[in-house]
Amino acid sequence: MPRRCSIISNALPRNTSARRAEAIERVLVPPGFYDRDPRRVGRELLGKVLVREETGKLVTARIVEVEAYLGTGDLAAHAAAGRTPRNQVLFGPPGRAYVYFIYGNHYCLNVSCLPDGVAGGVLFRALEPLEGIAAMARARKITLRGDRDLRLLTSGPGRLAEAFGITRTRDNGKDFTCVDSDLRIEDDGFDVAKVLVTPRIGIIKAAELPLRYLIAGNPFVSGPLRLRSAGAVGRR
């Protein structure tokens, strides 16, 4: 049976993935996990844990919302126009960090999917903070006044990247599947009860495709309310 979820501040609101503070074993997600269709990878990434480790300090957060971006057939994907210096990570081996800069302000974090030579990826859209909350607040340059402010840390692709100190020069191409990497994705056995599927957010082309996946009812999911609750598009 699935284990309880990981360590979390007891200051967190109810109705989150928080359960109790106890040491939980986490295992690295292997490369083969990412060597599949981004839709499959995206859905199964929900509930996994993004880990940043530097000098023994851990910043971790649970993945609660993602979007799949396909290859050359997907007009909204950066890979749509073919291989360029910017998007080459998407065409490379699976399980690597693809980081891009957008709107002159923000970085966004993805993981590459499918085998070397085939483009595809999953965008991280929202996380639920677990460990290192003070460090995330520092990175985001915000003062936490209450539990509700936790949403401001990692709810949205630009926000989560800033909370984890993600930049293109630092992290693009980094291997998520290596124990020595300071950026990893791990599985703590958390069981996702229900997944919701909706159209992707913030895009113009191919905007109707239902390729956004989120954990139903999770308060850290981003976007307008109508795209956060049951009835959005589908369940699963």
Partner DNA sequence: ATATCGATTATCT
Partner DNA sequence: GATAATCGATATG
Residue 140 binds DNA, judged by CB under 7 A: yes
The DSSP letter of residue 79 is G
Residue 36 and residue 22 in contact, taking contact as beta carbons nearer than 8 Å: no
Report the residue number, 26 or 164, with the smaller CB distance to DNA: 164
Strand pairing class (183-187; 27-28):
antiparallel
Identify the residue among 203, 209, 210, 217 touching DNA (CB under 7 A): 203
Nearest distance from residue 37's CB to DNA, in Å? 15
Residue 147 binds DNA, judged by CB under 7 A: no
Stretches 10-18, 21-29, 40-48, 153-161: which one binds DNA (CB under 7 A)? 153-161
Nearest distance from residue 3's CB to DNA, in Å? 30
Contacts of 19-24 with CB under 8 Å at 24 or more apart are 24/188, 24/189
Nearest distance from residue 115's CB to DNA, in Å? 18
Query: 47 to 86, contacts with DNA by CB under 7 A?
Result: 67, 69, 76-79, 81, 84-86
Nearest distance from residue 7's CB to DNA, in Å? 25
Nearest distance from residue 139's CB to DNA, in Å? 11
Which residue's structure tokens are 């840390």?
A: 153
Name the E strands within 117-205: 121-131, 183-187, 195-198
Report the residue number, 22 or 84, with the smaller CB distance to DNA: 84
The DSSP letter of residue 167 is -
Report the residue number, 173 or 189, with the smaller CB distance to DNA: 173
Report the residue number, 26 or 212, with the smaller CB distance to DNA: 212
Stretches 21-29, 43-51, 56-64, 217-225: which one binds DNA (CB under 7 A)? 217-225
Which residues, at least 6 apart from 141, have a Cβ–Cβ distance to it below 8 Å? none
Residue 126 and residue 154 in contact, taking contact as beta carbons nearer than 8 Å: yes
State the amino acid at position 106 in one-letter form: H
Please compute, for residue 82, the number of CA atoms within 13 A of its CA located in the half-sphere on the CB side: 0
Report the residue number, 4 or 106, with the smaller CB distance to DNA: 106
Applying CB under 7 A, what is the total number of residues that bind DNA? 42
Strand pairing class (195-198; 49-54):
unpaired
The continuous run of DSSP H or E covering 59 comes out as strand 57-69
Please report, as ranges, the residues that interact with DNA according to CB under 7 A: 67, 69, 76-79, 81, 84-87, 90, 98, 100-106, 108, 110, 121, 123, 140, 152, 156-160, 168, 200-205, 222, 224-226
